[in-house]
């Protein structure tokens, strides 16, 4: 045993035996209490150098399945927390209530040392097995706790610094612990606060998910905190009886256990009737409405969310392109504090429950479709279909049948069963018309008629069908300019335009850094979490991003896939992003011009594309069709390959 370990053992024994230990930092009462338990109750030897105890893989899987819902939510929060602590040598861990380590996100620099210390999946970190430690002692104390270096009981653990917080379920049962541990010499003051915040986020999100088929009242004494991790949430039956409440709700209302309010009518807690509150929430378009607590008359602001229909197809957490959390947080998840996006979300929430049409403007890849999906997911139509149609990528001749459908045999090549058009497929839900500016003028008249008459006659059919759709249109072009040029109908423009929102380009978003981290976490969430070092983050933050968030996501996806280590640096950045294309760099504008070096493959692609463009006299739809790609993709290629249209104004 090293001198240091011998000294530690001597100190532990002396503190426990005379319970004095004057002058030693570890005599804080919780640590002392734990040491006493370890020595007297569990009969542990502080100098023991035992191997970590690990449960069998089958048992680990069973334990993980038992906590599957918490784990699913915790994974995202663990990745976020890991990003926040990245570089400080921490590993983030989740244990169950017996202290078995279920999930581990580790700093690569620390993983090896961590597994030597027993910080690995399946290891048991209860206080009874490992003595005083963040995870185990937190389970006993049921409170957030830091255990720094020689505050550990076993001398083999004194290299560690741990910050741990307990996770409770809606019944107040302790279900596990979230912990950040590292070999850091300096206990980071803020680590415990970050871990506690992550736990609060996990508890809230698990609660919202578990009670998604019930009414949920979300409240805070400041309206802007409704929907944040500080809010309180109460699940209610359709009759307004309390089913469960979050810790945040109990804290704000001055109760200590859920049992004190479960089973009571909501009107016994707040001076409201439940139907009245549901009504005013909907009338105020999900803006928090003031309510008063019965006992203290304290004012709160509340929103009631309606149950998500049980029959609704569950939105996959991760789909090919877009990642959306469960409603109603989909809109909030679209930004991390950018004022323009925040204002868009506020406006959308205000009108979401009224059948107002939206027009979404913004450059390609700024998230127009994602925004439309979030509006759909957050509203009362969430359980009904969301149908998207891209007017730029469907050949003009087919848009009509795509929209209106057709009867069997309506035209050569039509399916023999016919097809319901997108308008009918979207009935009751949302129709998203992407690149509306590219809709042929003849079809615009027909669409306008349908929107005014609110019924549609399928192609080749006779009986009109009643339509109830929310329409969200998107375009990257200037529709007013198109109207002037006679390419877009003014009357349709006014019919589509209930609320117009502009998605900011990525280079102008104030929350770029958080968004980059968030996307990197999402892109790496199936493997070990990836950390971006500071120079790389700064370089990404200052790119021009002509393809906006889409381009950023694809770049991160590529970098994550090709990485050699879990810490990405400037060396992982593809060459075309290294020089020049920054917003503030010296090559700012010139970088988009022909000066940017292309690799040989890109040069060949550029030549081939130029030949095709010249052959078809720059008819963009024709070239896109010829190459079997969408016009959006074609425009993106032009941008990427530095091809300027001879008449620049027509290239968007
Ligand atoms: N706020 C966001 N958070 C996370 N990912 C986003 C966000 N906005 C966009 N993305 C990502 O960028 C991709 C492109 O977004 P989307 O298709 O919504 O953009 P768009 O503006 O509709 O593009 P286009 O005009 O080219 O159709 C999405 O698939 C998604 O992965």
608 or 513, which is more confident: 513
Residue 321 has, within 13 A of its CA and on its CB side, a CA count of 8
d(CA 240, CA 520): 41
3-state secondary structure labels for all residues of 74-129:
HHHHHHHHHHHHCCCCEEEEEEECCCEEEEEEECHHHHHHHHHHCCCCCEECCHHH
Structure token digits, residue 643: 């091809």
The model's pLDDT over 452-480, given as tens digits with 9 standing for 90+, comes to 888 877 666 667 778 888 999 999 888 88
pLDDT for res 419:
65
Question: Which atom of ligand 1 lies at the shortest distance from residue 370's CA?
Answer: 18
Question: Which atom of ligand 1 lies at the shortest distance from residue 362's CA?
Answer: 21
**pLDDT surpasses 80 at 582:** no
ipTM of predicted assembly, 2 dp? 0.98
**pLDDT surpasses 90 at 327:** no
Q: First-to-last CA distance in the chain?
A: 71
Residue 218 has, within 13 A of its CA and on its CB side, a CA count of 24
Question: Which atom of ligand 1 lies at the shortest distance from residue 321's CA?
Answer: 29
261 or 114, which is more confident: 261
- How, if at all, do strands 242-245 and 232-236 pair? antiparallel
d(CA 361, CA 372): 11
d(CA 455, CA 450): 6
CA angle centred on 493, ends 492 and 496, rounded to 5° = 80
Residue reference for tokens 């805070």: 220
Query: Is 5 within 8 Å of 155 (Cβ atoms)?
Result: yes
CATH superfamily of 332-502: P-loop containing nucleotide triphosphate hydrolases (3.40.50.300)
The model's pLDDT over 116-153, given as tens digits with 9 standing for 90+, comes to 778 888 999 999 999 999 999 999 999 999 999 889 99
Q: Where are the domains positioned within the chain?
A: 57-208, 211-305, 332-502, 506-592, 600-650
Ligand 1 site-directed mutation target among 80, 361, 365, most atoms within 8 Å of CB:
365
Closest residue to atom 3 of ligand 1, CA basis? 334
Query: Is 200 within 8 Å of 213 (Cβ atoms)?
Result: no
Query: Is 65 within 8 Å of 20 (Cβ atoms)?
Result: no
**pLDDT surpasses 50 at 94:** yes
- Mean pLDDT, rounded, for 238-249: 91
CATH class in words for 506-592 = mainly alpha
- Mean pLDDT, rounded, for 158-163: 88
98: cis peptide before it, omega within 30°? no
* Residue 370 CB–ligand 1 contact under 6 Å: yes
CA angle centred on 597, ends 591 and 603, rounded to 5° = 120
Query: Is 351 within 8 Å of 345 (Cβ atoms)?
Result: no
d(CA 582, CA 160): 41
d(CA 424, CA 433): 14
The model's pLDDT over 342-359, given as tens digits with 9 standing for 90+, comes to 989 988 888 887 778 899
Closest residue to atom 7 of ligand 1, CA basis? 367
Torsion of CA 347, 348, 350, 353, to 10 degrees: 160
Question: What is the second-level CATH architecture of the domain 211-305?
Answer: 2-Layer Sandwich (3.30)
Ligand 1 center from residue 362 Cα (angstroms): 11
* Residue 369 CB–ligand 1 contact under 6 Å: yes
pLDDT band of 515, cuts 50, 70, 90 = very high
Ligand 1 center from residue 476 Cα (angstroms): 13
DSSP state for residue 40 in the 8-state scheme = I
224 or 16, which is more confident: 16
CA angle centred on 363, ends 507 and 388, rounded to 5° = 130
Ligand 1 center from residue 594 Cα (angstroms): 27
Ligand 1 center from residue 575 Cα (angstroms): 24
Ligand 1 center from residue 260 Cα (angstroms): 45
- Mean pLDDT, rounded, for 223-251: 88
For the chain, percent of residues with pLDDT exceeding 70? 83
* Residue 547 CB–ligand 1 contact under 6 Å: no
Q: Strand order in 289-292's β-sheet?
A: 242-245, 232-236, 215-220, 299-305, 289-292
* Residue 334 CB–ligand 1 contact under 6 Å: yes
CATH T-level assignment (fold) for domain 600-650: Arc Repressor Mutant, subunit A (1.10.10)
Ligand 1 center from residue 515 Cα (angstroms): 12
d(CA 207, CA 214): 11
Residue reference for tokens 């937190």: 138
Query: Is 357 within 8 Å of 472 (Cβ atoms)?
Result: yes
Ligand 1 center from residue 367 Cα (angstroms): 3
DSSP H or E segment with residue 175: strand 174-182
* Residue 473 CB–ligand 1 contact under 6 Å: no
- How, if at all, do strands 567-568 and 531-532 pair? parallel
d(CA 271, CA 231): 19
540 or 187, which is more confident: 540
DSSP state for residue 20 in the 8-state scheme = -
Torsion of CA 414, 419, 424, 425, to 10 degrees: -120
Same fold, 57-208 and 506-592: no
* Residue 62 CB–ligand 1 contact under 6 Å: no
Residue reference for tokens 């409170």: 143
**pLDDT surpasses 80 at 449:** yes
Question: What is the second-level CATH architecture of the domain 57-208?
Answer: 2-Layer Sandwich (3.30)
Q: Identify the three-state secondary structure at position 206.
A: helix
Question: Which atom of ligand 1 lies at the shortest distance from residue 334's CA?
Answer: 1
d(CA 32, CA 210): 38
pLDDT for res 308:
64
């Amino acid at each position: 045993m090293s001198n240091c370990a011998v000294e530690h053992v001597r100190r532990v024994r002396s503190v426990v035996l005379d319970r004095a230990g004057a002058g030693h930092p570890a005599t804080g009462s919780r640590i002392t209490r734990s040491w006493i338990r370890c020595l007297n109750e569990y009969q542990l030897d502080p100098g023991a150098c035992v191997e970590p105890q690990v449960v069998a893989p089958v048992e680990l899987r069973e334990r993980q399945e038992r906590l599957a819902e918490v784990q699913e939510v915790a994974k995202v929060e663990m990745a976020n927390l890991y990003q926040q602590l990245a570089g400080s040598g921490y590993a983030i861990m989740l244990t169950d209530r017996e202290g078995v380590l279920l999930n581990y996100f580790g700093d690569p620099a620390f993983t090896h040392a961590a597994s030597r210390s027993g910080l690995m999946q399946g290891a048991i970190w209860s206080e009874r097995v490992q003595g005083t430690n963040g995870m185990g002692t937190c389970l006993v104390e049921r409170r957030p706790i830091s255990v720094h270096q020689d505050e550990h009981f076993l001398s083999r653990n004194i290299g560690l610094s741990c910050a741990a917080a307990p996770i409770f379920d809606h019944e107040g049962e302790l279900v596990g612990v979230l912990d950040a541990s590292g070999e850091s010499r300096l206990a980071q003051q803020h680590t415990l606060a970050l871990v506690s915040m992550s736990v609060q986020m996990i508890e809230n999100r698990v609660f919202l998910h578990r009670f998604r088929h019930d009414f949920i009242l979300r409240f805070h004494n400041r309206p802007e905190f409704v929907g944040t991790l500080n809010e309180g949430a109460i699940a209610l039956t359709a009759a307004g009886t309390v089913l469960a409440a979050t810790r945040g709700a109990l804290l704000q209302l001055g109760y200590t256990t859920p049992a004190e309010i479960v089973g009571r009518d909501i009107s016994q807690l707040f001076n409201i009737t439940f139907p009245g509150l549901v009504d005013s929430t909907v009338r105020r378009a999900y803006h928090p409405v003031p309510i008063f607590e019965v006992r203290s008359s304290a004012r709160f602001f509340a929103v009631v969310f309606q149950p998500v229909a049980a029959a609704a197809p569950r939105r996959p957490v991760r789909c090919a392109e877009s990642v959306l959390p469960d409603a109603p947080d989909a809109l909030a998840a679209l930004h991390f504090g950018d004022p323009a996006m925040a204002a868009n979300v506020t406006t959308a929430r205000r009108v979401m429950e009224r059948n107002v049409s939206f027009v979404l403007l913004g450059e390609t890849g700024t998230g127009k479709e994602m925004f439309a999906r979030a509006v759909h997911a957050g509203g009362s139509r969430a359980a009904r279909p969301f149908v998207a149609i891209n007017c730029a990528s469907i050949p003009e001749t087919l848009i009509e049948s795509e929209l209106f459908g057709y009867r069997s045999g309506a035209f050569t090549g039509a399916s023999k069963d016919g097809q319901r058009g997108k308008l009918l497929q979207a009935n009751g839900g949302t129709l998203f018309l992407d690149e509306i500016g590219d809709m042929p003028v003849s079809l615009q008249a027909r669409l306008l008629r349908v929107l005014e008459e609110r019924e549609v006659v399928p192609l080749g059919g006779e009986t009109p069908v009643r339509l109830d759709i929310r329409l969200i249109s998107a375009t990257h072009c200037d529709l007013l300019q198109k109207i002037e040029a006679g390419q877009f109908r003014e009357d349709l423009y006014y019919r589509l335009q209930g609320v117009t929102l502009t998605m900011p380009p990525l280079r102008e978003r104030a929350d770029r850094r958080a968004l980059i981290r968030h996307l990197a976490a999402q892109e790496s969430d199936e493997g070990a979490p990836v950390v971006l070092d500071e120079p790389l983050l700064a370089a990404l933050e200052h790119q021009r991003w002509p393809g906006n968030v889409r381009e950023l996501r694809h770049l991160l996806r590529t970098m994550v896939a090709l990485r050699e280590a879990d810490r990405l640096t400037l060396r992982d950045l593809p060459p075309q992003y290294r020089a020049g294309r920054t917003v503030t760099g010296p090559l700012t504008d010139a970088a988009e011009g022909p000066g940017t070096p292309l690799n040989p493959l890109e040069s060949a692609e550029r030549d081939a594309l130029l030949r095709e463009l010249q052959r078809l006299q720059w008819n963009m739809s024709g070239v896109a069709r010829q190459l079997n790609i969408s016009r959006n993709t074609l425009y993106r290629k032009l941008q990427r390959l530095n091809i300027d249209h001879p008449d620049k104004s027509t290239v968007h």
